[in-house]
Chains A and B, each alone.
Chain A
């Protein structure tokens, strides 16, 4: 049982490049979310999903796309990277209902 797996752990992009951050969980969790963490700003919700085929925007969705074709996977796509997207990105999942999230180990992204 690997929990929540994020890849890559580190990434450097040039401005304007696109990429996909991968997130997979093997706990059969319905809920999955993407957060970005910046110094002094806590964890801000980018996009979230309550089940396969269902996604919704969070607090800071601009510049990011998501899809949820399976229960296990929830990739985050950066369409055209900007320096403002330099951050640590966390994927998290939880069972349906009132439960806490389990977080992945994070992806540290730098956009130059």
Chain B
């Protein structure tokens, strides 16, 4: 089945710096790669996604890149702000329409 590894598990950055979270996967049939943000005590919310026929997608301060050959995808947050502090999960959809999640990255943006 699908397997996705997410790194780092915790990430601390200064306000205004960039943050990068990386996920690797093994199933070459995976075709959809969303990223979710979860604030403390809240539900996960979709922030950006990318399909397998696209290499990069950007939405204001966040971007996702996909390297299908190397089987990894990354979330990039630029000009980080305190409200970016949360847990971020990568996920992927492979065969069988299952959505498999990474173990999460706790991002802390310090003033």
Contact = CB atoms under 8 A, between A and B. Distances in A.
Interface in B93-111: 93, 96-104
Interface in A47-81: 48, 50, 56, 58-59
Contacts of A44: 101
A98 B91 CA distance: 13
Contacts of B45: 103
A90 B103 CA distance: 15
Contacts of B1: 59
A98 B43 contact: no
A61 to B, nearest CB: 12
Given A100-B34, A100-B49, A43 B44 contact: yes
A25 interface: no
Contact of A105 (B43, B51, B97, B104): B43
B34 to A, nearest CB: 4
Contacts of A59: 1, 100
A32 to B, nearest CB: 11
Contacts of B102: 42
B32 interface: yes
Interface string B75-104: 000000000000001000100111111111
Given A58-B98, A90-B43, A104-B43, A98 B93 contact: yes
Contacts of B99: 33, 45, 92, 94, 100-101
Given A58-B98, A98-B31, A100-B34, A40 B103 contact: yes
Interface string A18-57: 0000000000000101010000111111001010000010
B96 A103 contact: no
Contacts of A104: 43
Nearest to A90: B43
Given A42-B6, A102-B46, A106-B43, 6 more contacts: A33-B98, A40-B103, A43-B44, A50-B97, A92-B99, A101-B99
